[in-house]
Amino acid sequence: MTRRAPLPPEVLIRRVGWDLHSRHPAEVYEERGREQWRLVKSLLPQGWTLEGRRVLDFGSGAGRIVRHALAEEPGADYWACDIDARSIAWMQAHLSPLHAFQADEWPPTHLADGQFDLIFAFSVFTHLVDSWSAWLLELRRILAADGVMIVTVFGPGISMHGDIPVSEDKTGMNLLAPGTEWDAGGPMIVHSEWWLRAHWGRAFEITDLRRGNPAGAPPLLGQSILVMRKRPGSLTRADLERASPNEPRELAAAQQNIATLRHEVERLGGIVRVYATSRSWRLTAPLRAIARLVRAHRPSKSHVRATEVTSARSSGHQ
């Protein structure tokens, strides 16, 4: 019988939850993590075993997936990273013998070349707006020459995102709702299959791409999943980002991004107009002006420290 790993506090569960409105978020968290780990194992090459391998959960949250890996396949060496310091601290305290470390918004990491035999990333590249190519190359760097990388994306197989139509031919890599706060899920990146094969395919051989089901059933809930092996050679971010010269859909994708950004500007403008015309906003304007004055005249932390040092030195000479 496998040992069940402890569950993180609800605030960390909901940070990466796939059902934020569930009455029992811990149960959903447990179920999704187990399903996703078993999906990862099912996608490994035939005859590929985890025993003695080094595995990285990139964008792990508080360990939704890797906690099941530790319990079910204890013979591997597991690592996890995330941008959230609270999640890392919790994993370091509760998920042994996991190696957990905090990642910055941009690479590089402190990890060695070719360090990992398996890297998986669930719901990470669905949100990376500007740093996607940098992180893709960093993961390629730390993946072993014969390693496997498994990544989920949103887009292939999806025809709608809310009330926004999603078109395989026009999407490319399209940014939806770029003004969304991270506490509300952050921006959403939608990919076309042709774009992934054209751009990501320069760095990796895509050995399997399973398109998302619009119905959004577990364990992927509408996302698609890619299985990849690294290609040899040296590449830069520009190599991954440049448009394919003989691909007419690149222009359509660029035009789609412009249309999406225009829609977002109009949406945010509407929100601003609501605030600007509201009675409560007008009535609290004097209070906001006073707050700005207070902030402007408040001494900075560096000024306070300098004053404290000066005072201390003066006291010492008395």
Residue 297's pLDDT is 61
Q: What is the pTM of this model?
A: 0.82
Can you tell me the distance from the alpha carbon of 207 to that of 12, in angstroms, rounded to the nearest whole number? 33
**Domains in the chain and their CATH numbers?**
10-248 (3.40.50.150), 262-317 (no CATH)
b/e code 268-297 from CB counts within 10 Å (16+ = b): eeeeeeeeeeeeeeeeeeeeeeeeeeeeee
Residue 308's pLDDT is 42
- Report the Cα 305 to chain-centroid distance in Å: 37
Residue 24's pLDDT is 86
Residue 275's pLDDT is 65
Taking 70 as the pLDDT cut, the residues of the chain under it are 1-3, 18-21, 182-185, 267-268, 271-272, 274-276, 279-283, 285, 287-290, 292-318
Residue 163's pLDDT is 73
Q: For 90, what's the count of Cα atoms within 13 Å in the CB-facing half-sphere?
A: 21
Can you tell me the distance from the alpha carbon of 123 to that of 140, in angstroms, rounded to the nearest whole number? 18
DSSP assignment letter at 317: H
SS (H, E, C) 259-289: HHHHHHHHHHHHHHHHHHHCHHHHHCHHHHH
DSSP assignment letter at 9: P
Answer yes or no: are the C-beta atoms of 76 and 69 closer than 8 Å. yes
Residue 144's pLDDT is 98
Percent of the chain as helix, strand, coil, to the nearest 5: 45, 20, 40
Q: Tokens 């004055």 label which residue?
A: 293
DSSP H helical ranges for 160-248: 168-171, 193-199, 237-241
